[in-house]
Amino acid sequence: MRRLKGDGRPVQTEENRAAVLGALEPVNLVVIFDEDTPAALIDLLVPDLLVKGADYRIEDIVGADTVLKAGGKVITAELVPGQSTTKLVGATRPGKIDLKVDA
102 in any annotated domain:
no
98 in any annotated domain:
no
Q: Which domain holds residue 27?
A: 2-90
Number of domains in the chain: 1
Residue 66: Cβ within 10 Å count: 18
Instruction: Give residue 54's region: left, alpha or beta (phi > 0; psi -120 to 50).
Output: alpha
101 in any annotated domain:
no
40 in any annotated domain:
yes
99 in any annotated domain:
no
pLDDT tens series, the chain, 103 aa? 666 666 766 777 889 989 999 999 988 889 998 898 999 999 999 999 999 999 999 999 999 999 999 999 999 999 888 777 767 666 666 555 454 555 4
Task: State how far the Cα of 20 lies from the Cα of 12, in Å rounded to an integer.
Answer: 10
Label the pairing between strands 49-53 and 73-77: parallel
Angle at 2 between CA 53 and CA 62, to 5 degrees: 40
